[in-house]
Amino acid sequence: MAELIEPQVFHKQTRSVWKPRTLLPGLPEMALLWLPALLVAAAMLLPIIYLLLRAGGADLPAWQWLLRTRTLEILGRTILLVIGVTSAAMVVAVPLAWLTVRTDLPLGRLWSILIPLPLVIPSYVGAYLFVSALGPRGLLQSWLEAWFGVTRLPDIHGLPGAVIVLTLISYPYIYLSVRAALLKMDPTLEEAARSLGHNLLKTFRRVTLPQLRPAITVGSLLVALYVLRDFGAVSILRYDTFSRVIYIQYRSSFDRASAAALSLILVAMTVVILVLEIRTRGRSLYHSASATASRPLARFSLGAWRWPALIFCAGVTGLALLVPAGLLLYWLVRGILAGEQISNLWLATRNSALASVLAAGFSLLAALPVAVLNVRRPGRLSHLLERVTYVGYALPGIVIALALVFFGANYALSLYQTLPLLIFAYVVLFLPQAVGALRASILQVQPSLEEAGRSLGHGPIRIFQKITLPLISPGVAAGAGLVFLTTMKELPATLILAPIGFKTLASGLWSAVSEAFFAKAAAPALLLILVSSLPMAILIIKDQNKASSQ
């Protein structure tokens, strides 16, 4: 019984019972898994190759400049921010996921749809809205001044503001992957723990949390790398990080060589984070040991705790979604009342949705071989392939976009600035999100189920269709949702690589904000949130129905 409560120990004992056997025999495995995975990894290395080419052009003073003490200081600040945001996002997202999936939280489905949506808010917009609403002389202050005579609120710029804003727009990375893991978790372990007299909290801490580890880790990895790549929020909140320095280098001095050299340091930081993350993975297995198919998940009754739980959910979504949306609505209404023309956004909406759906689909396809090999064929090469997909993930979007401009305009001119190349750019930008979500859910699938399918004489594709895919569907949904939401707001690659005249909601929003047309900015921003909530609602309701009907 002790093993049940310490699932890792339990799993280590069973590990020797089965060994990964040929998932697909010989040639098909090569053609269907290894070859695509190698191609995907090669594509993911394009930005790094570009950076090496460009950094080669940096002269000695540029490299010396990199080694000044200020660089180290910025490095320290960047690390501080990464740690701050990642831990805060974990603290926010894990309880949210557990509350929405595993308890009788009132309005559970509504929360499940609203909670991931802040991911769609571009960080510069989020930061701008946050400062406008809660800044020292923001909207809140103006109300407080009218009622209570408060003339200034505490300054939120700097580290605290950056941590708050980045946490509020990045916690969905952790939320979505943890949610997927919870939906497919074997409930028997928790039940056993409960029957041993553990209370809710202790069960969560000792049984649930350890099983969620892969999902939490991959979500946190995405958050950490997202923080490294962001420059929008940190610029507005006045916190200098590495990405911001790279950006200034591009923008102010048009110095691509120094920018590339700086970007390589960011890649090096990413590699360190990736190595640290793989250390935490250990060798534990996370699928249920019993052969019984998953049963309906028991939902814990919150009792009197439902009120604090409700306040927590409402507080997070309120701050991350309703405050920005409310402020946008206020600008929109004020603009319309002042007679401002709001242009027709139908085409931009269609383009955004089309590009994001395609990006999500192709990212999943590209991620699948990498994730399957990583879980089912543990070994040097498969681990390397998976890690390689993350290496460029911390690079600011403009760096990836310029890399693809270089390769596209010089080696694939007929594809340059077409929709296929744009989708390819999105896949390169967001693949790790799909790989992470898929990997975490494949880990939960028992290989013996797939083997049973094989013993019944089914081919590999049919097994995948009939057995694996239904079992990993929450992971597929999480991966698709993550890529969809981040593509909706993507800007630098869209501006540079889209077919000419291909307008999206994000580009319309940017164009209006950069010229301070707030009313014009509000309409595409609100549409961005609304349009994104639709597919999220479909994904989530489908999942939840499945989970409760099993």
Residues found near another protein in the complex (CB under 8 A): 70, 74, 128, 135-138, 235-236, 238, 240, 244-245, 248, 250-256, 335, 338, 340, 398, 401-402, 405-406, 409-410, 413, 416-417, 492, 495-496, 500-501, 507, 511-512, 514-520
Choose between 69 and 549: whose C-beta lies nearer to another protein.
69
Q: How far is the CB of 320 from another protein (least distance, A)?
A: 21
Quote the least distance from Cβ 144 to another protein, whole Å: 14
159-183 helix and 469-489 helix, angle to the nearest 10 degrees: 160
* CA–CA distance, 202 with 388 (Å, rounded to integer): 37
Which residue, 364, 71, 397, is CA-closest to 242? 71
Q: Of 461, 468, 478, 466, nearest to 444 (Cα)?
A: 468
Give me the residues paired with residue 103 across strands.
Answer: 300
Quick one: 329 or 496, whose CB is closer to another protein?
A: 496
Q: Give the E-state strand segments of 243-347 in sequence order.
A: none
Taking the complex as a whole, the smallest distance from the CB of residue 54 to another protein amounts, in Å, to 9
- What is the rounded distance in angstroms from the CA atom of residue 436 to the CA atom of residue 442? 10
Decide whether 195 or 253 has the Cβ nearer to another protein: 253
Three-state DSSP state, 188: helix
Of residues 348 and 370, the one with the C-beta less far from another protein: 348
Provide, rounded to whole angstroms, the least separation between the CB of residue 503 and another protein.
Answer: 8
CA distance 435 to 394: 15
CA 356 to chain centre: 14
Type of residue found at 159:
L
Amino acid in position 277: E
Q: How many CB atoms lie within 10 A of CB 495?
A: 17
Q: Which is nearer to another protein, 397 or 475 (CB)?
A: 397
Give the distance, in angstroms, between the CA of residue 93 and the centroid of all CA atoms in the same chain: 12
- Smallest distance, another protein to C-beta of residue 50, A: 9
Measure the CA angle with vertex 534, ends 533 and 536; round to 5°: 65
For another protein, the closer of residues 90 and 404 by Cβ is 404
Least distance from another protein to the Cβ atom of residue 160, Å: 16
Nearer to another protein, 69 or 455 (CB): 69
Q: How far is the CB of 77 from another protein (least distance, A)?
A: 9
295: left (phi over 0), alpha (psi -120 to 50) or beta: beta
